[in-house]
């Protein structure tokens, strides 16, 4: 398909127009990007370079590939790229006014309050609170030849979110209902039909939002009154030095967003780690030896830095499968990226999932090689590896995420050994947040019987 320009630069400008192959209006390259993001990104880069455009999910969208362009957008030194308007198009009806959907001074104000829920003392309390739940969840796993890792890890992380984030006692049916609502809300963001047709993703997402709102509003008065060590209570009680606190609406909005971000991204990271540790048993044994050497059945806060091997594997998993596959922004005024004219109102996307596998920046990018982080290959550019984003919107929960992944993996390694057939390759579904279509079936054996 012949290249077309997005918009002509102003007369006399030194800037180049953004070119691309837009495809059909509205649909454009949506299907190709969702079904084969890596091949599509490679072809796009070879044809148009690091800045190009196409129609994606009904929007004229500029995609920026590589760390140099990513830094311009994410660091956002001139405050020209807004997160809220871009994300709102995809997930606004379901996760409205979450921290990622706010911008500039309002975002900074909310982030300062929310930061009180992620202090070192709070993190240590969350970690201590989650340890018994990790043990109960792992002990309930049934070993066998068709143990589906993704499904079980997702259930575990939701249960931990209920314990540590909500601090609410739920029976299994209610926990499953809330989990289903989160799943429906997340999947709605990549719906092809973006209005409420009964039975389709968008309508299910709207219904899920109502379920989540009702749930948190019902429990909010008790959290305001009684406090606690959970995130829900922390957001209800958080206060800046100058006395600013969240309203009830703020707490509900942030809880819905943070819970989605926490349990979905952690599930993807742990599932990816499990896949590559099954494919590379030498790494699984290395990590198990590391945990055994620690001599503790439960990881303590002060032990986090000791699991260096887990840290390397986690970083490589985040490189190979970024849990948040892309970060969108909206240009609030005319600007430029790498010498290309970006008109005001343009949606700009940083594709983390494919940026992390660019051979221009990563040697042998398809290979699982955790040692690349010991060799500091990620330091070739400060934005070569950016699974948590960057700039003002860098993930506020990144330290919690690492703590939770290490806590779960430590106890998992001490209980079980898992494997896949030598020729198995997981079918990665990238139509929404990345996950294995088959649930990642493994042979799970109790460690004592292995």
From the annotation, which residues make up the binding site for heme? 395
d(CA 94, CA 97): 10
User: The tokens of 40 are what?
Assistant: 């599509």
Q: Which of 444, 448, 417 is nearest to 148 (CA)?
A: 444
The answer to whether 273 and 409 have CB atoms below 8 angstroms apart is yes
Q: What is the SS3 assignment for the chain?
A: CCCEECCCCCCCCCCECCEECCCCCCCCCHHHHHHCHHHHHHHHHHHHCCEEEEEECCEEEEEECCHHHHHHHHHCCCCCEECHHHHHHHHHHHHCCCHHHCCHHHHHHHHHHHHHHHCHHHHHHHHHHHHHHHHHHHHCCCCEEEEEHHHHHHHHHHHHHHHHHHCCCCCHHHHHHHHHHHHHHHHHCCCCCCCCCCCCHHHHHHHHHHHHHHHHHHHHHHHHHHCCCCHHHHHHHCCCCCCCCCCHHHHHHHHHHHHHHHHHHHHHHHHHHHHHHHHCHHHHHHHHHHHHHHCCCCCCHHHHHHCHHHHHHHHHHHHHCCCCCCEEEEECCCEEECCEEECCCCEEEECHHHHCCCCCCCCCCCCCCCHHHHCCHHHHCCCCCCCCCCHHHCCCCHHHHHHHHHHHHHHHHHHEEEECCCCCCCCEECCCCCEECCCCEEEEEEHHHC
CA angle at residue 405 from 399 to 406, to 5 degrees?
90
Binding site, by residue number, is: 395
- The number of CA neighbours under 13 Å toward the Cβ of 287 is 30
d(CA 203, CA 193): 10
d(CA 369, CA 317): 10
The answer to whether 256 and 213 have CB atoms below 8 angstroms apart is yes
């Amino acid at each position: 398909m012949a290249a077309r320009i997005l918009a002509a630069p102003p007369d006399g400008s030194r800037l180049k127009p953004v070119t691309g192959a837009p495809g059909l209006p509205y649909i454009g390259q949506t299907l190709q990007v969702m079904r084969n993001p890596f091949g599509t990104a490679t072809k796009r880069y070879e044809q148009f370079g690091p800045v190009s455009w196409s129609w994606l999910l009904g929007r004229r969208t500029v995609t920026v590939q590589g760390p140099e362009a990513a830094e311009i957008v994410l660091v956002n030194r001139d405050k020209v790229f807004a997160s809220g308007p871009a994300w709102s198009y995809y997930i606004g009806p379901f996760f409205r006014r979450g921290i990622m959907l706010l911008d500039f001074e309002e975002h900074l104000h909310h982030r300062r309050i929310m930061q009180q829920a992620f202090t070192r003392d709070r993190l240590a309390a969350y970690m201590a609170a989650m340890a018994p739940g990790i043990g109960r969840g792992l002990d309930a796993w049934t070993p066998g030849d068709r143990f589906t890792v993704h499904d079980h890890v997702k259930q575990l992380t939701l249960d931990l979110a209920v314990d540590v984030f909500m601090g609410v006692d739920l029976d299994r049916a209610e926990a499953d209902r809330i989990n289903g609502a989160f799943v429906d809300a997340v999947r709605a963001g990549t719906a092809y039909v973006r209005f409420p047709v009964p039975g389709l993703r968008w309508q299910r997402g709207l219904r899920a939002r109502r379920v989540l709102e009702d749930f948190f509003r019902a429990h909010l008065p008790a959290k305001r009154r009684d406090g606690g060590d959970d995130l829900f209570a922390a957001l209800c009680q958080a206060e800046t030095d100058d006395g600013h606190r969240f309203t009830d609406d703020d707490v509900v909005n942030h809880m819905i967003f943070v819970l989605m971000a926490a349990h979905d991204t952690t599930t993807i990271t742990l599932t990816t780690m499990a896949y590559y540790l099954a494919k590379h048993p030498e790494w699984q044994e290395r990590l198990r030896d590391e945990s055994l050497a620690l001599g503790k059945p439960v990881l303590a806060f002060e032990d986090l830095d000791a699991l260096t091997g887990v840290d390397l594997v986690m970083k490589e998993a985040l490189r190979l499968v970024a849990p948040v596959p892309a970060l969108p922004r909206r240009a609030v005024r005319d600007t430029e990226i790498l010498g290309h004219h970006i008109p005001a109102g343009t949606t700009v996307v940083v594709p983390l999932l494919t940026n992390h596998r660019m051979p221009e920046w990563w040697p042998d990018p398809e290979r699982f090689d955790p040692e690349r982080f010991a060799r500091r290959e990620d330091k070739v550019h400060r934005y070569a590896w950016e699974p948590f984003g960057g700039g003002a919107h860098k993930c506020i929960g990144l330290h919690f995420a690492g703590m939770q992944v290490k806590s779960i993996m430590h106890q998992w390694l001490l209980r079980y050994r898992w494997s896949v057939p030598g020729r198995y390759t997981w079918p990665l579904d990238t139509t929404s947040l990345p996950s294995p279509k088959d649930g990642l079936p493994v042979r799970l054996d109790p460690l004592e019987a292995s």
